[in-house]
Structure formats: structure tokens, C-alpha cells
Amino acid sequence: SLRKSKRNSDSTELAAQMNESVDVMDVIAICCPKYKDRPQIARVVQKTSNGFSVQWMAGSYSGSWTEAKRRDGRKLVPWVDTIKESDIIYKKIALTSANKLTNKVVQTLRSLYAAKDGTSS
């Protein structure tokens, strides 16, 4: 049947996407309740017993992404956090050569966060 609704194929694609494994150094999108930032992008540092240790990245939907730092006394240190697998909403993000999100990923993330935040985009 060629008349499958577009929504259907999108959600199948997302389901397949979410079955991807998460590997160290992967860039992922997270929806962590304690942060209001959108989008929440991080790089996986290591797997832990109950989730992942990630290094947050700083950026925006349209801008480039760099590793986030936080102040530790007088030093700036990488901002590392622990997240649960269930906090991950998108895996295997490929940043462009300019360290930006692709348009397709931006659209997907916007709709994913909109769904999580209970607002229509």
C-alpha cells in the first residue's frame, strides 16, 4: 500500500532510530527534566551501571555546538553529567563539519521536545 500516511513512516523511522545502540563518543539528544534548555545535546563519555555519563554540549538549533564547561573554583571543567537511558530522545546525531545540527535533525528534535513539553510546534 503506497498510501501509508507520512506520520506513520516517520514514527517507524524514529522507532528504528531509538533501537540504535549508544556508543562512547556518540552525540545524542536528551530530555532531562531538571534542565529547561532546548535542545539538550551531549556526547557520551561512558556507559554506567544505570545509564550513561555524558559531556554536555552548548549551542542552539541554528548555531554550532561546542563542549560545555562549568566553573569549578577558578577552573573551567568539562560539564559531565549522568543520565538515564530513558532520558535519551534521539541517538546517533551527526553534526555537520561546522558542528551544527542538520535541518532534518532540528525538525525532528523540535517536534520531539514539543511532544515532551505538551505543546504543538
pLDDT of res. 4: 52
Average pLDDT over residues 99-112: 97
One-letter identity of residue 12: T
How many DSSP H helices and E strands does the chain contain? 2, 8
What's the pTM? 0.86
CATH 1.10.1740 fits 11-116, yes or no: no
User: What ranges do the domains of the chain cover?
Assistant: 11-116
- What tens digit of pLDDT does each residue of 78-94 get? 999 999 999 999 999 99
Question: What DSSP character marks residue 25?
Answer: T
Q: Is 66 exposed, middle or buried (0-12, 13-18, 19+ CB in 10 A)?
A: exposed
Instruction: Name the band, by pLDDT with cuts 50, 70 and 90, for residue 15.
Output: confident
Q: How far apart are CA 8 and CA 5, in angstroms?
A: 5
Phi, psi (deg, nearest 5) at residue 43: -110, 135
Task: Report whether 14 contacts 108 (CB < 8 A).
Answer: yes
- What tens digit of pLDDT does each residue of 29-45 get? 999 988 999 999 999 99
Please list, in sequence order, all residues whose beta carbon lies within 8 angstroms of the beta carbon of residue 21, skipping any fewer than 6 positions away: none
